[in-house]
Amino acid sequence: MKRVALHNLGCKVNAYELDVMRQILEENGYQVVTFDETADIYIVNTCTVTNIADRKSRQMLHRAKKCNPEGVVVAVGCYVQTGDAAQMDPCIDLAIGNNRKNELPALLEAYLREREAGNAGAQAFVRDLSSPVPYEEMMLTEAAERTRAFIKIQDGCNAFCSYCIIPFARGRVRSRRPEDICREAAALARAGCQEIVITGIHISSYGMDFVKAEDAFAGDARQAAYERGYLLRLLETLHEIEGIKRIRLGSLEPRIITETFADRLQTLPKVCPHFHLSLQSGCDATLKRMNRHYLAGEYYEKVNILRNAFDNPAITTDVIVGFPGETADEFAQTQTFLERVGFYEMHVFPYSRRQGTTAAAMPDQVTDAEKSRRSHVLLALAKRQSRAYRETFSGKDVTILLEEPVIVNGVRYMTGYTAEYVKTALRTEMDLSNRIVRGTVSGFLQEDMLLIETAPESLKFENK
């Protein structure tokens, strides 16, 4: 039995795909070990979203080769897809691009046979994703975390934001058939998973490739997908699956949020009131240079639609600081806008120049020192806003999906998340993992963790 170690870099889609790769390797007789152990094969699921991500991918590949110089180092995913696979890092033995990950066991076995025959040269398997390709079917039957599982519903992106390499790394939008998604969700529910997280590269575009060209509204297939509610219909179907208690959405395109969308969502009690609407900038001029397809005022309207439809929903976002051409005034506009919206969480990223994107060649690149200064300003704002949002739960009843125990100052707690994805702790010696409980928030246990004082025996157990 060959020993294989796996490591993931990057997004939730990558995490899902690595879980599937782990599953199919085990089904094919491989023994999965940790990345720090000596293994026969090391598989790194790479990321290429920034130059920094590229560097981290290379570092992990080199670390693998250092762990076992005689082992087989396999680079999989986005770093492979956007690089010259035939001339990649010399530590790579086997390179597998996107849309071929489900072929991993077959490609790996073929490589191992060649190696045993004395043909030890590096091999690369990369499919051209610049033209339409079918959705790569992958099926997860058991989640690594029994309480929560990611379900991938689509791949690719057609947005072409000026800073982003992902349309080139992942190709164009291709959607998974709803019956396959529901079959996977049902299997995960039978395995004990109570929460599913809908993920993909651009889930708001789900179904746009189902639209026939002659049916697209004004030639805009994405708008047709929004109007026809493919994502909504999928969620309504998933909502009926027995055993699934929560449905959490991944990042949404702001334009998908309409009164109709929000009204239909709020009729589905399993859908968590936690919405990640990627903003990137609160300045219209910067948004235009980013090719983001909306303005700050439109974004604000979308947030208000959600807040009118749901009771105190968690609104989270991403913000890039120091985008090329971002002046002090443009940054001030973004800061003012963020203060106006008030987010539960903001992920703040200094702009990272990514070769191969439009933004990399833009003039007026902002210095690293200034990007760092602006990042610190927004991170401080994010911390204040996150605290303020958490404080709104004080004295209120919340429902928590408990996951794991922690020890804080010598005391044992079970921790989990509310439907809004606020981390919460319950003091107890009981093993309540994968229990959904209801209790009253009494304060903070830590800066980022609410506390429930209610005794376990008085809690309402929603299910086991």
CA distance 14 to 292: 24
Domain boundaries, the chain: 3-125, 148-391, 397-463
Residue closest to 444 by CA, chosen among 453, 456, 454, 431: 453
CA distance 314 to 295: 21
* Residue 122 near residue 111 (C-beta atoms within 8 A): no
Q: Which residues contact 294 (CB under 8 A, 6 or more apart)?
A: 254, 255, 287
pLDDT at 217: 53
Q: Which residues contact 368 (CB under 8 A, 6 or more apart)?
A: 350
pLDDT at 464: 44
pLDDT at 458: 52
Q: Look at the domain 397-463 and name its fold.
A: OB fold (Dihydrolipoamide Acetyltransferase, E2P) (2.40.50)
pLDDT at 365: 97
User: What count of residues does the chain have?
Assistant: 464
CA 100 from chain center: how many Å?
Answer: 20
CA distance 371 to 350: 6
Give Cα separations from 414 to 189, 409, 448 (angstroms): 22, 14, 15
pLDDT at 1: 82
Q: Which residues of the chain have pLDDT under 70?
A: 85-87, 213-219, 455-464
pLDDT at 214: 56
Domain 3-125 of CATH type 3.40.50.12160: yes
Assigned CATH for 148-391: 3.80.30.20
pLDDT at 224: 74
